[in-house]
A and B are shown apart, each in its own frame.
Chain A
Amino acid sequence: DAGVIQSPRHEVTEMGQEVTLRCKPISGHDYLFWYRQTMMRGLELLIYFNNNVPIDDSGMPEDRFSAKMPNASFSTLKIQPSEPRDSAVYFCASSFPSGTDYGYTFGSGTRLTVV
């Protein structure tokens, strides 16, 4: 398996534009997580899915953020409209349910810069 695949690796966009981040989890993993890395708060959980169903989106900062998981192999995180304070690295991770020692497998992240 190629691991968790995120695209794009880097995204630079202008304030007000729509941004879509993509994630392909590891086949067979039934949990998918979106995290955002910032200096102040480290890795913040934005939203997570179980069997394609959103379970907890309380970490989504504002209504400008939305996430979908139309099938077991694909998820998107959308920011519309984007703002400079959204600049961060966004990680997608997938896992089996509790019981595994290693928790999650992370993708390589998308570095978002909003200018």
Chain B
Amino acid sequence: DQQVKQNSPSLSVQEGRISILNCDYTNSMFDYFLWYKKYPAEGPTFLISISSIKDKNEDGRFTVFLNKSAKHLSLHIVPSQPGDSAVYFCAARPLRETSGSRLTFGEGTQLTVNP
């Protein structure tokens, strides 16, 4: 049972345009969401997060939007740069989980930004 789902395995955009990566979740207990970025031969690294008390969080070129009623979040990258080409993982957890910061990840989306 995939509780966090990224339906697009890949996305290709032109440099300078907007990249939009989508993520859906099914577990209503999730209330903290993170995006990780992964380059080849490296481990995933934290990019940006959002808690359920917000519907938007922005950090430079990266913005994450959360729609709790739809159980959907998206990552916007504007403008996209070739260096953004990587696999992006969406992850979620219950904010007040007592058993540790256990994250549930999606399948990942390969973003390719073409010069």
Contact = CB atoms under 8 A, between A and B. Distances in A.
Interface in A1-22: 4
Given A42-B108, A43-B108, A31 B43 contact: no
Contacts of B44: 43, 91, 106
Interface stretch (A61-69, A79-87, A96-104): A96-104
B26 to A, nearest CB: 15
Interface of B: 2, 6, 9, 34, 36, 41-46, 49, 89, 91, 93, 95-108
29 contacts: A4-B43, A33-B102, A35-B105, A39-B9, A40-B107, A41-B2, A42-B108, A43-B108, A45-B105, A91-B44, A95-B100, A95-B101, A96-B101, A97-B101, A98-B95, A98-B97, A98-B98, A101-B46, A102-B49, A103-B36, A103-B49, A104-B46, A104-B103, A106-B45, A108-B41, A108-B42, A108-B43, A109-B41, A109-B43
